[in-house]
Amino acid sequence: MGDVRTTRDGVLPLTSKERRLQRRRLLLLIVIGAVLVISAGFVIPVNQYIMASGYVTTERYAEVRSPAIGTVAKILAQSGMRMQEGDVLVQLDSTEAQAILEETISQVQKAEAEISRRAAEITERKRRLAEDIIVAKLRLQNAVSRLVRTRELMAKGLVAGSILEDDQLKEKLARAEVQSLTNTDISVFDKELMVLRHELQARREMVDHAETAIRAREIRAPISGQVLRYEFVVGELVRPDTVLMEIFGGDRQILKLRVSERHAARVAVGARYRARLATYRGLRSIWFTGKIQYLRNVIQSEGQTTYRVAYCSFDPKGRTVSPGTTAEAKVYCGKTCFWFFLFGVN
């Protein structure tokens, strides 16, 4: 009953046992193939890159921020201008400080005038005192001479005793006057001038403080270089955390990249990168290459974005690349297996 017979030439149909065996062989081949594919996926190395964005800058670079909260009064630098270190870029409103400066300058001028007036008065008083002492000494000398003559005449009986008493009194009064004038403490005048000069010095220090306050409202260039101005206008309130301008100095260019905080720990100094610049994008993009030279050891934030800054070497390849040109880069961070790369497992 198990024999199969046919009246036509051809391949005999498979038995149930043969069909089961064939399915098992096929399943085995599929499993082996899957194992080989999965194993190959773990063995095949794939370069791993992290996406970053940034811009081209120069080796000497500075961000310009306001030293204090204030309202913009004047904007003295525009994008593309070359400024020298110390040049005023932005003037904040300093109306209050200017009023204080003008008031203190007025006080200094009044104090100087008062010192000049008092010095002239004191000089005149000293001159008159010296003259009065000379006159008093002449009077004393005359009184002494008269007293000597009166005594001589008194001894001869030619004058009355009352005259001698009058001359003796005049001599005593003249001597007392000389003593009083010569004992006058002229150091009081010098002390008075010293007090006035101390007051003048205090007012001059107030002027210096007021001028310092006005200079503090001047935002100056920290380095020499080309200016890139951000969007802000006269009358706008600015704060120390607001970047107003960037200054690019030096001849050598670098690429400044922002690496997402999520991948910040995976990048290291010396890592290679490939970058495309916005200026040279098109049907055939130009790739610029280099290495990370320095990583800032802080995580920065801008809005909802947190990132770590990487400073990279940059070779413009003989092309003109303006500072501030934006770039998109791929930073090499090692190798991983194909499956980890495919499913994004770090």
| Count of other CB atoms within 10 angstroms of residue 222 | 16
Least confident of 157-171, 210-224, 259-273, 315-329: 157-171
Q: Hey, what are 230's tokens?
A: 């951000």
Provide the pLDDT confidence category of residue 40 given band limits of 50, 70 and 90.
Answer: low
Mean pLDDT score of the chain, rounded to an integer? 84
**SS3 assignment, position 48:** strand
Tell me the C-alpha distance between 285 and 102, whole Å.
61
Q: Helices in 44-160 by DSSP H: which ranges?
A: 95-156
Q: Which CATH superfamily is domain 47-93+221-343 in?
A: Efflux pump adaptor protein, beta barrel domain (2.40.30.170)
Residue 112's contacts (CB-CB under 8 Å, 6 or more residues apart) are 200
**Which residue in this structure is represented by tokens 């194993």?**
39
Domain boundaries, the chain: 16-43, 47-93+221-343, 97-215
pLDDT value at position 342? 60
Q: Please say if the pLDDT value at position 8 is more than 60.
A: no
Q: Please say if the pLDDT value at position 283 is more than 70.
A: no
CA atoms within 13 A on the CB side of 125: 14
Using the Cα atoms of residue 118, residue 123, residue 128 and residue 134 in order, give the sign of their dihedral. positive
Closest CA to 65 of 248, 246, 331: 246
Say what percent of the chain tops pLDDT 70. Answer: 89
Provide the pLDDT confidence category of residue 304 given band limits of 50, 70 and 90.
Answer: confident
Highest mean pLDDT among 12-26, 27-41, 63-77, 143-157: 63-77
Q: Write out pLDDT tens, residues 80-124.
A: 888 999 999 999 998 888 898 899 999 999 989 988 988 888 888
Q: Write out pLDDT tens, residues 258-280.
A: 999 888 888 889 999 999 998 88
Mean pLDDT, rounded, for 41-54? 76
Using the Cα atoms of residue 155, residue 157, residue 159 and residue 164 in order, give the sign of their dihedral. positive
